[in-house]
Amino acid sequence: MSDVLLTFIVENTGYILQVFIYLFLGIYLLTILWPKKKASLDDLFNEETLILTKEDKKYMKLAQNKIIALLIPKPDSNSYKKTLVKFSKIGGYGKYKNLTIYYAKKAYFTFLAIAGVLIANMLPALLFQLQIYMEVENPQVIKLPIGFIIFTFIIPLILYIYPDLEINSAANKQETQLKKELISLGIFIHTMLETGNNAYDILTLVKEIKPVYREYIEAALNEYYVNVHSALTNLKDKVGIYEFDMIVDSLIFSCETDNNYASKFLGEYLDRLEETTKINDEKGNKLKPYILLVSAMPPLIAALLIWFYPWITQATSSLIKGVSGF
């Protein structure tokens, strides 16, 4: 019975390919379940649990599962810190509420996908065994297309990395919005420094007129009078844009020296920033026609192929007949 099954696999689905797929799947499982990633969940539960929905609480509880916990990095690990920075860039956790839910959902759906892959690839063998058990005269085994096997194998990997892609996309979108406001923000702060305003008053006004920076600035204002330098440094770290760092540096200089030096420093930097932005815009405008041309080529080629398809078919048929005549 086992010989018949093995022969079928070799002849129909490619035994070597099957071995490769399951070996690779095993390596993949070992990688994501590596013990070093085990988390200390005590550091992850906080007052946010008080405002969680039933579904959120379900994932928080799920995170305590020993297997799921293996996929949650330690709070002091580089992986955890990098993810935390990404969330801070988008102004919070969004639909994930906190990192525990983020990692728990990621792990849960990955395991579901892996289980689905194993079941899908085992179906031919299970159905074959069922037919033998039921004493079917000529047992037949369902042939799974190789493309389907490979596709089902890739699904867990896609589900595992999808949340990261989603967060990266949101972070990039947020960064683009922040950068659009940089020059006008710099000019406003430069003007406020020249008129003798202190850093706290400037940040308070920026919070009102620049909504995209509001959440970052509110956090800085909350710790401003505890430690000014630390509050402004944390503000730079949370936004994570070099040009913004230079603008905040001018506020730090205004606290440590005086407004005259700070406004002079910021004014000189804004001149360089405007010049650099102008050069980059000119380069982008020069590239736009080429980008539009390249993007228009695929539909144009497709239209030409459809238009000339009857002629191509007829020419190919005539060529085959001509070759056959020899």
pLDDT at 252: 92
pLDDT at 221: 92
**53 three-class SS:** coil
pLDDT at 250: 92
Structure tokens at 325: 């005549």
End-to-end CA distance of the chain: 51
C-alpha torsion sign, points 219, 220, 221, 224: positive
What distance in Å separates the CA atoms of residue 239 and residue 90, rounded to the nearest whole number? 9
Buried b (16+ CB within 10 A) or exposed e, 67-95: ebbbbbbbeeeeebeebeebbbbbbebee
Contact 75, 112 (CB under 8 A): no
pLDDT in tens, 21-38: 666 666 666 655 554 444
pLDDT at 7: 56
pLDDT in tens, 67-117: 777 777 777 778 788 887 777 767 555 566 778 788 888 888 877 777 777
Domain boundaries in the chain?
Answer: 2-171, 181-277
**What pTM was computed for the model?**
0.58
Residues of the chain with confidence (pLDDT) below 50: 10, 15, 35-50, 323
